Amino acid sequence: MQLITVAGSPSVGKTSVILRVAELLRQSGLKVGVAKFDALSTVDDELYAQKGIPVAVGLAGSLCPDHYFVSNVEDCLAWGERQGFDLLISESAGLCNRCSPHIDGVLAICVVDALAGVHTPKKIGPMLRLADLVVITKGDIVSQVEREVFAFHVRLANPGAQALFCNGITGQGATDIVQHIRAAAPTPSLDGSRLRFSMPAAVCPYCVGETAIGETHQRGNVKKMRFADLEAAR
């Protein structure tokens, strides 16, 4: 079986693109399943189910969605094996720009949305920077010039990676994604695999339920903002 991680900020079009890609993969006789990760809730499972694509859902709830993802991805792989999939696609919403579920040796796709504005690619961290393939959606809504400028910034944000446009609604561009997927290596196991980038580090009282505000509650891994006026006074 082959695992593919698909990540992108909320509502960029991950599900739309995966549905198009899965349709093409299934036409060529492959069995495709999806593992959907989200924070609080999702209706993506219904979208996948409507198209007859088996889906497993994981909601991180109060946990950091990234930590939740790594702790569960092996179990997803095992589920995929049990179901006899040829391909398992994980869909996860990168909820902060620092998030990145990408794993060494596993095809990593980042979905970005041309509507986000031309400077967004600079701001997205490892999720975009360390992806193998960047898929740009919603190009149909913006002008040709903005598409070109956006793609240029994507290239600078992840130099050397492949990037392409895909329309999540019409599926234009999905065949190119399929080609990349078919060329990628299988994932027999994740035992000993490594994340491409470390997860957000946070061990402080707020992680475990503290809600009170004030200096005395700030212990452990605390980092303070710096203000220019105070810096100058020092």
Partner 1 sequence: MSTALGTLPLVEVLDRHPAVADFVKVLGLPAAPAALTLAQWLDELPDEAFFDVGMERGQMLDHLQRLVEEVRAMESSADARIDSLTLIGGHDKQGRMELVELTFRAGDIVCIVGPTGSGKSRLLGDIECLAQGDTPTGRRVLINGREPTQARRYAPDRKMVAQLSQNMNFVVDLSVREFITMHARCRMVVEPAGMAETVIACANALTGEKFAPEVSVTQLSGGQTRALMIADAALLSASPVVLIDEIENAGVDRKRALELLAGGEKIVLISTHDPLLALRGARRIVIRNGGISEVISTSERERANLQRIEQIDAMLMGIRDRLRGGLRIEEELEWPN
Ligand X SMILES: Nc1nc2c(ncn2[C@@H]2O[C@H](COP(=O)(O)OP(=O)(O)OP(=O)(O)O)[C@@H](O)[C@H]2O)c(=O)[nH]1
Which residue ranges make up the site for partner 1 (CB under 8 A)? 97-98, 100, 114-118, 122-123, 125-126, 129-130, 136, 140-149, 151-156, 159-160, 162-165, 170, 172-173, 175-176, 179, 197-198, 201
Q: Mark residues 188-207: x for contact with Zn ion by CB under 5 A, - for none.
A: ------------x-------
Among 40, 49, 78, 141, binds ligand X (CB under 6 A): 141
CA distance 151 to 114: 8
Considering only residues 97 through 136, tell me which ones interact with ligand X, judged by CB under 6 A: none
| Size of the residue set binding Zn ion (CB under 5 A) | 4
15 binds Mg ion (CB under 5 A): yes
The one-character DSSP state at 216 is G
Pairing of strands 32-38, 87-93: parallel
Pairing of strands 32-38, 2-8: unpaired
93 binds ligand X (CB under 6 A): yes
CA distance 149 to 161: 17
Q: Do 45 and 34 meet the contact criterion of CB atoms below 8 Å apart?
A: no
13 binds ligand X (CB under 6 A): yes
Q: Do 68 and 93 meet the contact criterion of CB atoms below 8 Å apart?
A: no
| Size of the residue set binding ligand X (CB under 6 A) | 17
